[in-house]
């Protein structure tokens, strides 16, 4: 009873002491009772790496072999960054790593950044062999000399079973894997930036990463016939491709698990081939090409998208002009195009509209978009305007008398945040903001980024709209600023600025 009525700490200590006593009493049979202490030292340290400091300290009550073991786990940093800025620094770092006693420290992350041209492949392999001995999980290799980008060859170590994330920048990948290389079963994320890669090496890389979940390829060059994204790992969930030349295949039919797709590149690389039954929650497509867009290519793009977008949460529409083809089909163009037709966007929570013009026809098509697709669960709306001052010179371009489409009556009940950037006080922009103020009943924050933080009186803008904006400014419902706060950026903004 005395034990039950206590706080518990004394009881735990008593049971541990009794266990140690029994272990000592049975002698050779102690191993049967205290098997956890019979684990190799490195394996016990490995267990501790998955625990927070407080939890690792508490493992001391497990058995005598675990007491104070946590001190060895943090004796060396688990993350190491090597920055080579001179020849002396290169040799100094190599000598330091060579003097470390074995077994090597466990490496959660290793980053190597090279800024000198006199860096050899044999020296790179010495660093990579060190990371393999430390069981690195997150490996980053980057060069900042253009002379190294095509000459320095990256090779993964033969044995690196714990590697989960690989990031390469400005380096060449050729014959990346050795004959008989084992699959990297833990590798879940690969990011390639400005990498020159042989086509066969890329294929082999994908084949040896069967559990890859995220692939991010940006500004990369493929030697040979071009990139082929048709044999990707079957469990891939996120794919981003930006600025890669000579893509000959974008076929994702064998990747039904795909949930996020970002593409920024040439229109001529189309058509894509996304599984028609894929459940995508995030799409970004920005196309550009020197050749004029053709109707059949636009139709191919529309057909390449999944028929069911009911799970889509985030959508960015980059549009130079919203051109209505019919009441049920809308074409969005940005140095390229994206065509949507009768898609279910009921799960959409964030919409980012990039408007290169804001004339009456653009506002009318924006209204039609909201009517046609209806986004009842939309919570965040970003409208990025061009910011050009041409409207001041010709205010009739934004005259709402030319507006042929009435604004939607409902559908924005869950909208809580709106951000309008490059606001220029033209009549159509004023009407868009006043429309949002009237229809978004749950609106909590409306941020306007404008070079002019003083409301402008425009003779062609309805007085009721201007009055509504001024009242919202006075009562604090609208925040007017010259600064674009990074804290309120669209989800796709980081990908948009990659090139």
Residue among 372, 387, 272 at smallest CA distance from 331: 372
Q: How confident is the model at residue 7 (pLDDT cuts 50, 70, 90)?
A: very low
Neighbouring residues of 78: CB distance < 8 A, sequence distance ≥ 6: 49, 105, 106, 107, 108, 109
What percent of the chain is modeled with pLDDT above 70? 69
Neighbouring residues of 207: CB distance < 8 A, sequence distance ≥ 6: 231
Least confident of 140-144, 315-319, 464-468: 315-319
Question: Strand locations in 320-470, DSSP E?
Answer: 321-326, 329-333, 337-340, 350-355, 380-384, 417-423, 445-450
Least confident of 62-66, 224-228, 327-331, 371-375: 327-331
Find the mean pLDDT for residues 296-310.
Answer: 61
pLDDT at residue 273 in the model = 63
Q: pLDDT, tens digit, for every residue of 123-160? A: 998 999 899 888 888 999 999 987 887 788 887 766 78
Are the CB atoms for 163 and 187 separated by under 8 Å?
yes
Of 453 and 204, the structure prediction assigns the larger pLDDT to 204
pTM to 2 decimal places: 0.69
pLDDT at residue 375 in the model = 86
pLDDT at residue 267 in the model = 63
pLDDT at position 402 over 70: no
Every domain of the chain and the residues it spans: 2-73, 76-258, 310-499
Residue among 89, 81, 86, 88 at smallest CA distance from 113: 81
Phi, psi of 461 (to 5 degrees): -95, 140
Average pLDDT over all residues of the chain: 75
CATH of the domain spanning 76-258: 3.80.10
């Amino acid at each position: 009873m005395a034990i039950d009525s206590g706080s518990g700490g004394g009881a735990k200590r008593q049971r541990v002491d009794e266990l140690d006593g029994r272990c000592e009493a049975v002698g050779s049979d102690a191993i049967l009772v205290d098997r956890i202490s019979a684990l190799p030292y490195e394996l016990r340290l490995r267990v501790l790496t998955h625990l927070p400091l407080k939890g690792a300290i508490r493992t001391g009550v497990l058995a005598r072999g675990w007491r104070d073991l946590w001190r060895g786990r943090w004796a060396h940093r688990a993350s190491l960054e090597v920055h080579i800025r001179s020849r002396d620094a290169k040799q100094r770092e190599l000598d330091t790593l060579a003097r470390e006693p074995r077994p090597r420290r466990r490496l959660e992350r290793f980053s190597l950044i090279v800024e000198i041209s006199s860096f050899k492949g044999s020296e790179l392999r010495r660093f990579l062999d060190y990371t393999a001995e430390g069981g690195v999980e997150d490996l980053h290799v980057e060069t900042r000399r253009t002379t190294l980008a095509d000459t320095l060859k990256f090779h993964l170590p033969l044995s690196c079973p714990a590697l989960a994330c690989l990031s390469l920048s400005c380096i060449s990948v050729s014959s990346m894997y050795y004959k008989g290389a084992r699959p990297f079963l833990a590798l879940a994320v690969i990011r390639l930036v400005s990498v020159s890669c042989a086509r066969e090496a890329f294929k082999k890389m994908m084949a040896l990463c069967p559990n890859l979940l995220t692939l991010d390829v940006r500004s990369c060059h493929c030697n040979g016939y071009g990139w082929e994204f048709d044999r990707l790992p079957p469990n891939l969930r996120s794919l981003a491709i930006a600025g890669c030349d000579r893509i000959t295949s974008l076929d994702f039919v064998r990747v039904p698990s795909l949930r996020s797709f970002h593409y920024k590149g040439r229109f001529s690389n189309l058509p894509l081939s996304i599984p028609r039954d894929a459940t995508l929650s995030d799409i970004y497509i920005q196309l550009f090409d020197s050749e004029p867009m053709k109707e059949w290519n636009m139709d191919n793009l529309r057909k390449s998208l999944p028929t069911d977008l009911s799970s889509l949460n985030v959508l960015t529409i980059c549009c130079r002009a919203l051109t209505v083809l019919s009441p049920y089909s809308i074409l969005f163009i940005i140095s390229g195009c994206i065509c949507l037709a009768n898609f279910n966007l009921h799960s959409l929570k964030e919409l980012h509209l990039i408007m290169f013009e804001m004339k009456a026809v653009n506002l009318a098509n924006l209204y039609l978009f909201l009517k046609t697709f209806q986004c009842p669960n939309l919570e965040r709306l970003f409208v990025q305007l061009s910011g050009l001052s041409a409207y001041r010179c010709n205010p009739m371009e934004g005259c709402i008398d030319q507006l042929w489409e009435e604004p939607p009556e409902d559908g924005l009940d869950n909208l809580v945040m709106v951000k309008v950037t490059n606001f220029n006080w033209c009549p159509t922009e004023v009407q868009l903001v006043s429309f949002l103020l009237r229809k978004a009943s749950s609106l909590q924050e409306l941020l306007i980024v404008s070079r002019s933080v003083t409301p402008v009186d425009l003779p062609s803008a309805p007085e009721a709209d201007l009055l509504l904006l001024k009242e919202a400014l006075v009562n604090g419902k609208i925040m007017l600023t010259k600064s674009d706060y990074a804290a309120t950026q669209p989800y796709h903004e980081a990908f948009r600025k990659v090139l």
